[in-house]
Structure 1
Amino acid sequence: METLDSSDTGRIVSQERGHGGSGVNIKLLLMLVVVAILLASVALVVALISLTQNGHGGGEARVTITGQEGSDSKQDKIWNIATGHMTSNNIYIDQPSGQLKGFNVDLINAVCRLANKNCRLVYDVWQRCWDSEKGQLPMGGVGLMSGWYDACAGWIKGHTRARTFQFSKPWQKPVNYHFIVQTGNPRGFNPTDVTNVTFGFVDGFINDEFCLARQTSITGSTLSTSQIQHYPQPTDMFNAVLSGEVDVCIAVGNNLPTGLTRLEDPAMDCPLDASGGGLMLRMDNPLLEWWDPALERLIQTSEYHEICQDIIEEHGHMPGRDPKDRCFGY
Structure 2
Amino acid sequence: MMSTATADTIPKIGIMGAGAIGLYVGGMLAECGVRVVFAARGRTMASVQRGLSLSRYDGFKAALKPEQYEVGGVDSLADCETVLFCTKSGDTEAAALELANSLKPGATVISLQNGVGNVELLKRLLSPYEVAAGIVPFNVVRLSPNAVHCSMEGRVLVGQSKASTKLADLAAHSRLQLEIHDNLDFMQWGKLLLNLNNGLNVISGMPLGRQFRQPGYRTVLAMAMEELLTVLDVAGIRVIGATRTNPRLIPKVLRLPTWLFRIAARQQLRMDDTARSSSWDDLKAGREPETRFLNGAVCSLAEAHGRKAPVNALICRLVDEAFARAASPEMSGEELLALARKAAA
Normalization by structure 1: what TM-score? 0.26
Normalization by structure 2: what TM-score? 0.25
Higher relative contact order (CA 8 A, sep 6+): 1
**Higher strand fraction (1 or 2):** 1
**Higher helix fraction (1 or 2):** 2
